[in-house]
Structure formats: structure tokens, C-alpha cells
């Protein structure tokens, strides 16, 4: 199999950091396929795929979906887009075992993760942003400060593990996520342009 030069980026950031907004801009600029774990889950569950049905049984019981099910869903997404220039992973990987499985899978495809780019935003600013978003989004988890801070704690625990995982590979990049959408996007592009 011929080596295909791809730009594969893991986009990270706490809830409210603006990942969704930036992912839209970046996927268009770099012609990447945006794979959002949330979207993939919703698609599989809505369309009652075998993996969606399996994931739903765990979710209905209030359990976390096992890594393997999540990984299998993501693999399917990558397989669907064989001709892609690269992928922008959003919300995945979330654990070291997922990151490891992603590395193994991409290696088999003669490619790898170019970098993990993390949007850094102070927690108090994020709480403000999410509470403001909660006024219009209707999302219950954006309206309760205790729940919001709980999401941050969970995020910090998971990210610190992934940060050190990618730092060991010299693939971790922190980007200041404060400012206008354009300013943040410019900072992200500077990092993206240097990733291969």
C-alpha cells in the first residue's frame, strides 16, 4: 500500500472552548474530514447500526460505552473516507487506550497522528461562556454551574493523561483559546501549517 501523506489532528479543548466553531473553519481550510465522536454516536444510534444498538444498551444502563465499541465506530468513519487528505478528530481519543488503538489503526493505514492541538481557556471564562450559551441552547448541562465545573474536572483528568501521551511523542500543542474567533483560528493555523 502506497504511503498517503495525511494531516491527522486531534482537536482538544474543554467544554465551551469553541472546538466546534474552530473545527468547521479548519476542516474547510485544510480539506479534512471532521470526525466528532458525538455525531458518530448519534448517527449510529439513530440509524440502529449494530454498533449503535450495542452502544445504546450501555448508555441506557447509565454505563460508559466500552473503548472498543467507540474505536470500532471511529474506524468505520475513517474507512468510509478512504480518499481523505486527513482527519480532524474531535472528542476522540478520550483515554490512553483509545489513543493507543488509534495509533495502531492509523499505522496499519500507513499514516499517523500529526499532532494533538489543545485550546486552552481559563475555567472561569468557560463557566461564563457556558452559562451564557445555556440561556439560549436549552442544554440543561449548560445551565448549572456545579455540573459545568464537574465536566471540567472530568476533562482535566482525562486530558492530562492524553497530554502526556502525546508529549512523549512530541505531538502536543497548546493554543491560547481566548480572543475573537478569527484570532484563535489564526493561532491554530500557525500550528496546523507546521504539522505534517
Which of 12-16, 32-36, 56-60 is modeled with the greatest confidence?
A: 32-36
- Is the predicted pLDDT of residue 2 greater than 70, yes or no? no
Residue 125 forms part of a structural domain: yes
Dist. CA 159–CA 110, nearest whole Å? 26
Residue 131 forms part of a structural domain: yes
Going by pLDDT thresholds of 50, 70 and 90, the confidence category of residue 143 is confident
Dist. CA 174–CA 191, nearest whole Å? 9
- Who has greater pLDDT, 147 or 54? 54
Residue 193 forms part of a structural domain: no
Dist. CA 155–CA 93, nearest whole Å? 12
Q: What is the share, in percent, of the chain residues with pLDDT greater than 70? A: 97
Q: Cβ atoms within 10 A of the Cβ of 72, count? A: 16
Which domain CATH number covers 123?
A: 3.40.50.300
* Structural domain that includes position 84: 9-181
Is residue 172 within 8 Å of 120, Cβ to Cβ? no
Q: Which helix (H) or strand (E) holds 95?
A: none
Q: What confidence score (pLDDT) does residue 4 get?
A: 53
Distance spanning both ends of the chain, measured CA to CA: 19
| Cα dist from 47 to 53, 55, 87, 181, whole Å | 9, 12, 23, 34
Domain count, the chain: 1
Whose CA is closest to 196, among 2, 3, 1? 3
Which positions are annotated as active-site residues? 19, 94, 133, 139, 151
**What DSSP string runs through 19-73?**
HHHHHHHHHHHHT-EEEEHHHHHHHHHHTT-HHHHHHHHHHHTTPPPPHHHHHHH
Dist. CA 174–CA 62, nearest whole Å? 33
DSSP assignment, residue 140? Answer: G
Q: Is 76 helix (H, G, I), strand (E, B) or coil?
A: helix
Q: What confidence score (pLDDT) does residue 26 get?
A: 96
Amino acid at each position: 500500500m502506497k504511503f498517503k501523506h495525511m494531516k491527522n489532528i486531534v482537536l482538544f479543548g474543554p467544554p465551551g472552548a469553541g472546538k466546534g466553531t474552530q473545527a468547521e473553519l479548519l476542516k474547510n481550510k485544510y480539506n479534512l474530514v471532521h470526525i466528532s465522536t458525538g455525531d458518530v454516536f448519534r448517527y449510529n444510534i439513530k440509524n440502529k447500526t449494530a454498533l449503535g444498538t450495542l452502544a445504546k444498551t450501555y448508555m441506557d444502563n447509565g454505563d460508559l460505552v466500552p473503548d472498543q465499541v467507540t474505536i470500532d465506530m471511529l474506524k468505520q468513519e475513517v474507512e468510509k473516507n478512504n480518499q481523505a487528505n486527513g482527519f480532524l478528530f474531535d472528542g476522540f481519543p478520550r483515554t490512553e487506550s483509545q489513543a493507543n488503538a488509534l495509533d495502531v489503526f492509523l499505522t496499519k493505514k500507513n499514516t499517523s497522528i500529526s499532532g494533538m492541538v489543545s485550546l486552552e481557556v481559563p475555567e472561569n471564562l468557560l463557566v461564563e461562556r457556558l452559562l451564557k450559551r445555556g440561556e439560549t441552547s436549552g442544554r440543561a448541562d449548560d445551565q448549572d454551574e456545579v455540573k459545568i465545573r464537574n465536566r471540567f474536572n472530568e476533562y482535566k483528568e482525562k486530558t492530562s493523561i492524553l497530554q502526556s501521551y502525546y508529549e512523549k511523542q512530541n505531538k502536543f500543542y497548546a493554543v491560547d483559546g481566548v480572543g475573537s474567533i478569527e484570532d484563535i483560528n489564526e493561532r491554530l493555523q500557525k500550528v496546523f501549517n507546521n504539522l505534517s
